[in-house]
Protein backbone atom coordinates (compact mmCIF):
# COMPACT_ATOMS: atom_id res chain seq x y z
CA UNK A 1 0.00 0.00 0.00
CA UNK A 2 1.45 3.44 -0.87
CA UNK A 3 2.59 5.63 2.04
CA UNK A 4 0.07 8.37 1.22
CA UNK A 5 -2.90 6.00 1.41
CA UNK A 6 -1.59 4.54 4.67
CA UNK A 7 -1.44 8.04 6.13
CA UNK A 8 -4.93 8.86 4.87
CA UNK A 9 -6.31 5.67 6.38
CA UNK A 10 -4.66 6.38 9.73
CA UNK A 11 -5.87 10.00 9.69
CA UNK A 12 -9.43 8.75 9.18
CA UNK A 13 -9.06 6.35 12.12
CA UNK A 14 -7.67 9.16 14.32
CA UNK A 15 -10.70 11.30 13.45
CA UNK A 16 -13.18 8.58 14.44
CA UNK A 17 -11.78 7.94 17.91
CA UNK A 18 -13.43 9.00 21.16
CA UNK A 19 -10.82 9.68 23.84
CA UNK A 20 -11.45 10.87 27.39
CA UNK A 21 -8.53 12.54 29.16
CA UNK A 22 -8.65 12.62 32.96
CA UNK A 23 -5.95 14.60 34.70
CA UNK A 24 -4.36 17.74 36.00
CA UNK A 25 -5.30 20.61 33.69
CA UNK A 26 -2.91 23.56 33.66
CA UNK A 27 -2.51 26.87 31.89
CA UNK A 28 1.08 27.43 30.79
CA UNK A 29 1.99 31.11 30.76
CA UNK A 30 5.24 32.23 29.11
CA UNK A 31 6.67 35.69 29.79
CA UNK A 32 9.19 36.16 27.00
CA UNK A 33 11.80 38.90 26.71
CA UNK A 34 15.46 39.89 26.82
CA UNK A 35 17.84 40.31 29.71
CA UNK A 36 20.96 42.46 29.42
CA UNK A 37 21.61 43.53 33.03
CA UNK A 38 21.45 42.45 36.65
CA UNK A 39 19.01 44.09 39.03
CA UNK A 40 20.51 46.59 41.52
CA UNK A 41 17.99 45.30 44.09
CA UNK A 42 19.18 41.67 44.09
CA UNK A 43 21.55 39.45 42.08
CA UNK A 44 18.87 38.47 39.55
CA UNK A 45 18.44 39.29 35.84
CA UNK A 46 16.13 42.10 34.77
CA UNK A 47 13.87 40.83 31.97
CA UNK A 48 12.43 43.32 29.52
CA UNK A 49 9.16 41.71 28.42
CA UNK A 50 8.38 41.51 24.71
CA UNK A 51 5.29 39.27 24.84
CA UNK A 52 3.08 36.99 26.93
CA UNK A 53 2.02 33.60 25.59
CA UNK A 54 -0.63 31.23 26.96
CA UNK A 55 -0.85 27.55 25.94
CA UNK A 56 -2.49 24.39 27.35
CA UNK A 57 -0.39 22.61 29.98
CA UNK A 58 -0.43 19.30 31.84
CA UNK A 59 -3.39 17.13 30.82
CA UNK A 60 -4.57 19.97 28.58
CA UNK A 61 -1.35 19.66 26.57
CA UNK A 62 -2.06 15.94 26.05
CA UNK A 63 -5.47 17.00 24.73
CA UNK A 64 -3.80 19.64 22.55
CA UNK A 65 -1.58 17.00 20.95
CA UNK A 66 -4.50 14.66 20.26
CA UNK A 67 -6.64 17.41 18.74
CA UNK A 68 -3.66 18.45 16.59
CA UNK A 69 -3.62 14.87 15.30
CA UNK A 70 -7.29 15.27 14.34
CA UNK A 71 -8.57 13.17 17.26
CA UNK A 72 -11.63 14.41 19.21
CA UNK A 73 -11.18 14.47 22.98
CA UNK A 74 -13.18 15.23 26.09
CA UNK A 75 -10.95 16.81 28.72
CA UNK A 76 -11.94 16.34 32.36
CA UNK A 77 -9.92 17.96 35.13
CA UNK A 78 -10.43 20.33 38.04
CA UNK A 79 -10.64 24.09 37.61
CA UNK A 80 -12.39 26.95 39.36
CA UNK A 81 -14.58 29.77 38.08
CA UNK A 82 -11.77 32.31 38.41
CA UNK A 83 -9.89 34.74 36.18
CA UNK A 84 -7.35 32.07 35.22
CA UNK A 85 -10.06 29.63 34.09
CA UNK A 86 -11.51 32.27 31.76
CA UNK A 87 -8.15 32.47 30.02
CA UNK A 88 -7.81 28.67 30.07
CA UNK A 89 -11.23 28.17 28.45
CA UNK A 90 -10.33 30.71 25.76
CA UNK A 91 -7.02 28.95 25.03
CA UNK A 92 -8.75 25.56 24.81
CA UNK A 93 -11.62 26.85 22.67
CA UNK A 94 -9.15 28.36 20.19
CA UNK A 95 -7.72 24.86 19.73
CA UNK A 96 -11.13 23.14 19.60
CA UNK A 97 -10.49 21.24 22.82
CA UNK A 98 -13.69 20.27 24.61
CA UNK A 99 -13.38 21.06 28.33
CA UNK A 100 -16.00 19.21 30.36
CA UNK A 101 -18.03 21.17 32.90
CA UNK A 102 -17.82 18.10 35.17
CA UNK A 103 -14.45 19.22 36.56
CA UNK A 104 -15.52 22.66 37.78
CA UNK A 105 -15.08 23.00 41.55
CA UNK A 106 -15.26 26.14 43.67
CA UNK A 107 -12.25 25.20 45.82
CA UNK A 108 -9.98 24.06 42.95
CA UNK A 109 -7.83 27.05 42.01
CA UNK A 110 -7.10 26.86 38.28
CA UNK A 111 -3.47 25.72 37.99
CA UNK A 112 -1.17 28.19 36.24
CA UNK A 113 2.55 27.73 35.61
CA UNK A 114 4.29 30.95 34.61
CA UNK A 115 7.72 30.64 33.03
CA UNK A 116 9.96 33.67 32.53
CA UNK A 117 12.12 33.13 29.44
CA UNK A 118 15.01 35.35 28.31
CA UNK A 119 17.16 34.57 25.23
CA UNK A 120 15.43 31.14 24.97
CA UNK A 121 16.55 30.28 28.54
CA UNK A 122 14.09 29.79 31.39
CA UNK A 123 14.91 32.24 34.19
CA UNK A 124 12.34 31.04 36.73
CA UNK A 125 8.92 29.41 37.10
CA UNK A 126 6.01 30.67 39.21
CA UNK A 127 3.25 28.19 40.17
CA UNK A 128 -0.31 28.98 41.28
CA UNK A 129 -2.27 26.01 42.65
CA UNK A 130 -4.28 24.71 45.61
CA UNK A 131 -3.67 21.64 47.79
CA UNK A 132 -4.13 18.23 46.07
CA UNK A 133 -7.35 17.39 47.94
CA UNK A 134 -9.10 20.30 46.23
CA UNK A 135 -8.68 18.69 42.79
CA UNK A 136 -9.98 15.15 43.47
CA UNK A 137 -12.77 14.02 41.11
CA UNK A 138 -13.71 10.55 42.37
CA UNK A 139 -17.18 11.90 43.28
CA UNK A 140 -17.91 11.71 39.51
CA UNK A 141 -18.07 7.91 39.67
CA UNK A 142 -21.80 8.20 40.47
CA UNK A 143 -22.45 10.78 37.74
CA UNK A 144 -24.39 9.33 34.79
CA UNK A 145 -22.89 11.74 32.25
CA UNK A 146 -19.40 10.76 33.38
CA UNK A 147 -20.22 7.04 33.28
CA UNK A 148 -21.57 7.39 29.74
CA UNK A 149 -18.41 9.22 28.58
CA UNK A 150 -16.18 6.48 29.98
CA UNK A 151 -18.18 3.54 28.63
CA UNK A 152 -18.43 5.04 25.13
CA UNK A 153 -14.74 5.96 24.87
CA UNK A 154 -12.16 4.12 22.79
CA UNK A 155 -9.51 5.12 25.34
CA UNK A 156 -9.39 6.70 28.79
CA UNK A 157 -6.09 8.43 29.43
CA UNK A 158 -5.00 9.21 33.00
CA UNK A 159 -2.65 12.21 32.74
CA UNK A 160 -1.17 12.44 36.24
CA UNK A 161 0.92 15.46 37.18
CA UNK A 162 0.61 14.73 40.91
CA UNK A 163 -1.76 17.66 41.52
CA UNK A 164 -4.61 15.56 42.93
CA UNK A 165 -7.12 14.73 40.17
CA UNK A 166 -5.97 11.12 39.76
CA UNK A 167 -6.73 9.13 42.92
CA UNK A 168 -6.99 5.45 43.79
CA UNK A 169 -10.76 5.85 44.15
CA UNK A 170 -11.03 7.24 40.62
CA UNK A 171 -8.80 4.57 39.05
CA UNK A 172 -10.42 1.66 40.87
CA UNK A 173 -13.91 3.01 40.14
CA UNK A 174 -13.21 3.21 36.42
CA UNK A 175 -11.70 -0.29 36.40
CA UNK A 176 -14.94 -1.62 37.93
CA UNK A 177 -17.04 0.49 35.56
CA UNK A 178 -15.46 -0.93 32.40
CA UNK A 179 -15.00 -4.50 33.69
CA UNK A 180 -18.46 -5.59 32.59
CA UNK A 181 -18.52 -3.55 29.39
CA UNK A 182 -18.82 -5.38 26.06
CA UNK A 183 -16.41 -2.85 24.49
CA UNK A 184 -14.07 -1.78 27.26
CA UNK A 185 -11.89 1.26 26.46
CA UNK A 186 -8.10 1.19 26.59
CA UNK A 187 -6.90 2.45 29.97
CA UNK A 188 -3.70 4.45 29.58
CA UNK A 189 -1.59 6.05 32.30
CA UNK A 190 1.35 8.41 32.26
CA UNK A 191 2.37 7.65 35.87
CA UNK A 192 3.90 9.55 38.79
CA UNK A 193 5.13 6.67 40.99
CA UNK A 194 5.87 8.86 44.02
CA UNK A 195 2.10 9.09 44.54
CA UNK A 196 1.87 5.33 45.31
CA UNK A 197 -1.33 4.82 43.31
CA UNK A 198 -2.68 1.39 42.37
CA UNK A 199 -1.89 1.36 38.64
CA UNK A 200 -2.31 -2.36 38.06
CA UNK A 201 -3.94 -3.75 34.93
CA UNK A 202 -3.57 -0.79 32.57
CA UNK A 203 -3.64 -1.28 28.79
CA UNK A 204 -0.62 1.00 28.39
CA UNK A 205 1.90 2.62 30.75
CA UNK A 206 4.36 5.32 29.62
CA UNK A 207 6.84 6.15 32.42
CA UNK A 208 10.08 8.00 31.78
CA UNK A 209 13.46 6.61 32.86
CA UNK A 210 13.41 7.76 36.49
CA UNK A 211 9.74 6.85 36.92
CA UNK A 212 10.36 3.36 35.52
CA UNK A 213 13.25 2.79 37.90
CA UNK A 214 11.13 3.86 40.87
CA UNK A 215 8.29 1.59 39.76
CA UNK A 216 10.76 -1.28 39.46
CA UNK A 217 11.99 -0.67 43.01
CA UNK A 218 15.31 1.00 42.18
CA UNK A 219 16.80 4.41 42.85
CA UNK A 220 15.98 6.99 40.17
CA UNK A 221 19.69 7.53 39.49
CA UNK A 222 20.59 3.86 39.01
CA UNK A 223 21.83 2.63 35.65
CA UNK A 224 18.91 1.01 33.87
CA UNK A 225 19.00 -2.71 33.12
CA UNK A 226 16.35 -3.13 30.44
CA UNK A 227 15.39 -6.74 31.11
CA UNK A 228 15.32 -6.42 34.90
CA UNK A 229 13.34 -3.16 34.93
CA UNK A 230 10.75 -4.38 32.43
CA UNK A 231 10.31 -7.67 34.30
CA UNK A 232 9.86 -5.84 37.63
CA UNK A 233 7.24 -3.43 36.23
CA UNK A 234 5.29 -6.22 34.54
CA UNK A 235 5.32 -8.22 37.78
CA UNK A 236 4.27 -5.29 39.98
CA UNK A 237 1.68 -3.63 37.69
CA UNK A 238 0.82 -6.13 34.94
CA UNK A 239 0.27 -3.62 32.10
CA UNK A 240 -0.60 -5.04 28.69
CA UNK A 241 1.87 -2.68 26.99
CA UNK A 242 4.83 -0.73 28.39
CA UNK A 243 6.79 2.11 26.78
CA UNK A 244 9.61 3.71 28.78
CA UNK A 245 10.89 7.03 27.40
CA UNK A 246 14.67 7.35 27.80
CA UNK A 247 15.37 10.83 26.41
CA UNK A 248 18.48 10.81 24.25
CA UNK A 249 18.59 6.99 24.56
CA UNK A 250 15.28 6.53 22.76
CA UNK A 251 12.49 4.29 24.05
CA UNK A 252 12.24 0.86 25.63
CA UNK A 253 9.14 -1.18 24.97
CA UNK A 254 7.55 -4.39 26.16
CA UNK A 255 4.27 -6.25 25.79
CA UNK A 256 2.43 -9.11 27.50
CA UNK A 257 5.07 -9.44 30.22
CA UNK A 258 8.10 -9.50 27.92
CA UNK A 259 10.65 -6.91 26.87
CA UNK A 260 10.75 -6.21 23.12
CA UNK A 261 13.77 -3.89 23.05
CA UNK A 262 14.89 -0.32 22.47
CA UNK A 263 14.46 2.04 19.58
CA UNK A 264 16.91 4.97 19.18
CA UNK A 265 15.79 8.58 19.55
CA UNK A 266 14.61 10.43 16.47
CA UNK A 267 15.59 13.86 17.87
CA UNK A 268 18.17 15.76 15.80
CA UNK A 269 18.30 19.02 17.77
CA UNK A 270 16.91 19.62 21.27
CA UNK A 271 15.76 23.08 22.35
CA UNK A 272 13.11 22.24 24.96
CA UNK A 273 11.86 18.88 26.29
CA UNK A 274 8.77 20.46 27.90
CA UNK A 275 5.70 18.48 26.92
CA UNK A 276 7.55 15.74 25.05
CA UNK A 277 6.06 13.08 27.35
CA UNK A 278 2.57 14.45 26.62
CA UNK A 279 3.23 14.11 22.89
CA UNK A 280 4.45 10.53 23.28
CA UNK A 281 1.44 9.33 25.28
CA UNK A 282 -0.96 11.14 22.92
CA UNK A 283 0.49 9.57 19.76
CA UNK A 284 0.74 6.13 21.37
CA UNK A 285 -2.86 6.26 22.57
CA UNK A 286 -4.29 7.40 19.23
CA UNK A 287 -2.16 4.93 17.26
CA UNK A 288 -2.88 1.85 19.39
CA UNK A 289 -6.59 2.73 19.70
CA UNK A 290 -6.60 2.91 15.87
CA UNK A 291 -5.32 -0.66 15.69
CA UNK A 292 -1.59 -0.17 15.09
CA UNK A 293 0.76 -2.73 16.71
CA UNK A 294 2.93 -1.49 19.57
CA UNK A 295 6.16 -1.35 17.54
CA UNK A 296 4.66 0.84 14.82
CA UNK A 297 2.84 3.06 17.33
CA UNK A 298 6.11 3.56 19.23
CA UNK A 299 7.93 4.38 16.00
CA UNK A 300 5.38 7.16 15.35
CA UNK A 301 5.56 8.42 18.94
CA UNK A 302 9.35 8.51 18.77
CA UNK A 303 9.21 10.55 15.55
CA UNK A 304 6.72 12.93 17.17
CA UNK A 305 8.91 13.44 20.24
CA UNK A 306 11.89 14.17 18.01
CA UNK A 307 9.91 16.95 16.36
CA UNK A 308 8.46 18.67 19.43
CA UNK A 309 11.76 18.88 21.36
CA UNK A 310 13.13 21.01 18.51
CA UNK A 311 10.55 23.70 19.38
CA UNK A 312 10.54 26.08 22.36
CA UNK A 313 7.80 25.47 24.94
CA UNK A 314 4.96 22.93 25.01
CA UNK A 315 4.30 22.75 21.27
CA UNK A 316 1.95 19.98 20.09
CA UNK A 317 2.69 17.65 17.22
CA UNK A 318 0.52 18.15 14.15
CA UNK A 319 -0.74 15.34 11.96
CA UNK A 320 1.05 16.84 8.95
CA UNK A 321 4.38 17.05 10.80
CA UNK A 322 4.04 13.46 11.97
CA UNK A 323 3.14 12.01 8.59
CA UNK A 324 5.81 14.06 6.78
CA UNK A 325 8.41 12.66 9.15
At 156-181, the pLDDT tens digits run 999 999 999 999 999 999 999 999 77
- d(C-alpha 120, C-alpha 238), whole Å: 41
- What per-residue confidence (pLDDT) applies to 161? 92
- pLDDT, residue 4, reads 55
Strand, helix or coil for residue 174? helix
Q: Look at residue 320 in the predicted model and tell me its pLDDT.
A: 82
What Å distances lie between residue 74 and 25, 66, 274, 280, 324, CA to CA? 12, 10, 23, 18, 27
Helix (H, G, I), strand (E, B) or coil at 102: helix
Whole-structure pTM over 0.95, yes or no?
no
Q: Predicted confidence band at 249 (pLDDT cuts at 50, 70, 90)? A: confident
Q: What is the pLDDT of residue 175?
A: 96
Q: Where are the domains of the chain?
A: 3-26+57-100+139-324
Catalytic machinery residues: 278
Q: Selecting from 3.40.1190.20, 3.40.50.10140, 3.30.365.10, 3.40.50.2000, what CATH number does the domain 3-26+57-100+139-324 have?
A: 3.40.1190.20
Amino acid sequence: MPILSENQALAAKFANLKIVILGDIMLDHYIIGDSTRISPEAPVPVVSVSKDSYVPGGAANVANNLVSLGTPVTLIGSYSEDQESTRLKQVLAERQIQLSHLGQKTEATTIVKTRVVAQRQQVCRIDREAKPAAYALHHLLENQEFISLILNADAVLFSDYAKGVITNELIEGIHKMVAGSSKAPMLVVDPKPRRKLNLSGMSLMTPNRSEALQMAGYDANDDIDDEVVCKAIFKAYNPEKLVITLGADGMLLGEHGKMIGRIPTAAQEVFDVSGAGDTVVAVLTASIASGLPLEKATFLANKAAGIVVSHLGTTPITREELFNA
